Structure 1
Amino acid sequence: MNKRITSVIAAALLSTSAFAAPTTYSVDPTHTFAVASWSHFGFSTPTAVFAGAEGTITYDADKPASSKIDISVSIDTVDSFVEKLNEEFVGSDWFNAAEYPKATFVSTKVVPHGDNKFSVTGDLTIKGTTKSVTMDAVLNGTGKHPMSGKPAIGFDATTVIKRSDFGISQYVPHVGDEITLRLTTEAQAK
């Protein structure tokens, strides 16, 4: 009888630790976007959205510092809401999408701050240039996705970069060099 109770307790502990294990999620390309905004001559703040997201998020609720993010977006999906500007952006003077079709972010360090807030440092690669950046991230939620029933996760992250650091310096300083970059992501377990 004692052996059976011990076996039941051991099984319960093992199943609990299995739930606590890190989960790897696949990025949902229909709900993951990079959004860039900048100053236009100091008069307005235009925005461009990049889609075509791919990648994974590995999240460990018990050890969030060991979490990892690896996401890319497709440059040729850029939508600035101005057709002529979209054409310019994919050209060689701007992002050169033919040679550098993706922008990527691969995390190197995650620091939890409590209240679902994190600093996520990683390598951002745009137009063949890689720079370390730190994003302020908020975990929006985890749980069962209402549509698929699979475990899901979502977060938003922001940072400010200088586009000239990535070889994109058209019209600087009149058109802002500082770009506010926001990543909004939804992902589901594989």
Structure 2
Amino acid sequence: MKKIVLATLLGVSLAAGAATLLKADPAKTSVSAVFKQMNVPVESKFKKYSIAIDYNAATPDAAKASVEIDTASLDLGDADMNKEVAKKDWFNSAAFPKASFVSTSIKSAGAGKLNVTGKLTIKGKSADVSFPLSVKADGAKQVFEGALPIKRLAFNVGEGEWKDTGMVADEVTIKFHVVAGQ
């Protein structure tokens, strides 16, 4: 009898500390790319993505996250430009329809702050990346905000004539604001 009670208590204790799968609220969540075109800042949002976050505020170091972005869904505000960025020289969305991020480590960095490490894959090229992330409770939901600076040419985004960074800068920041709950 003692073993059953102890096992039950341990099971409840372990379950209470386990991460919880959160679903992103698409109406309140955004993922965008910020870059300079002809030295003018541009922010363009991705319209299609899926985000999975396993998170429990009591045990942030057990958290995990994965993101998939439909590369053809980048909205530059012009239909012709949207088609252009999906072509081979840019995202090559026909061959590489998704960009992805999968966390390998999420560590607490103080109240409301996390350090995230993982693998970013764009256009078939992968790189280990790290970035800070803020997290705060908003009622029953969690709000995650962060920015990941990358170099687009490291992922072959902008080939051919577009390798010249005079027109479009190499530096791109992937910004995200994720509101998620059960």
Question: Could you give the per-residue CA deviations for residues 8-43 of structure 1, whole angstroms, max 9, x where no partner exists?
Answer: xxx99976765443211133344333211112222x
Counterpart pick for 2:30 among 27, 30, 33: 33
The 1-side partners of 2:9 and 2:102 are apart by 36
Counterpart pick for 1:22 among 13, 19, 25: 19
Counterpart of 2:84 in structure 1 is 88
The 2-side partners of 1:135 and 1:172 are apart by 27
Q: TM-score, normalised by structure 2?
A: 0.83
Counterpart pick for 1:119 among 112, 115, 121: 115
The 2-side partners of 1:55 and 1:37 are apart by 19
Counterpart of 2:156 in structure 1 is 167
The 2-side partners of 1:178 and 1:107 are apart by 22
The 2-side partners of 1:14 and 1:65 are apart by 19
Distance 1:125 1:29, change over 3 A: farther
Counterpart of 1:180 in structure 2 is 173
C-alpha displacement of 1:105 = 0.8
The structure with the greater share of residues assigned to strand is 2
Question: Could you give the per-residue CA deviations for residues 65-88 of structure 1, whole angstroms, max 9, x where no partner exists?
Answer: 121001111112110112222111
Structure 2: give runs of 5+ residues left out of the alignment. none
CA contact under 8 A between 2:48 and 2:70: conserved in structure 1?
A: yes
Report the aligned-residue RMSD: 2.4
Supply the AA of the counterpart residue of 1:128. Answer: G
Local SS of the residue matching 1:93: coil
- In the alignment, is residue 128 of structure 1 matched against residue 124 of structure 2? yes
Q: TM-score, normalised by structure 1?
A: 0.80
- Please, which moves more after superposition, 92-101 or 74-83? 74-83
Distance 1:18 1:79, change over 3 A: same
Percent of matched pairs sharing the same residue: 30
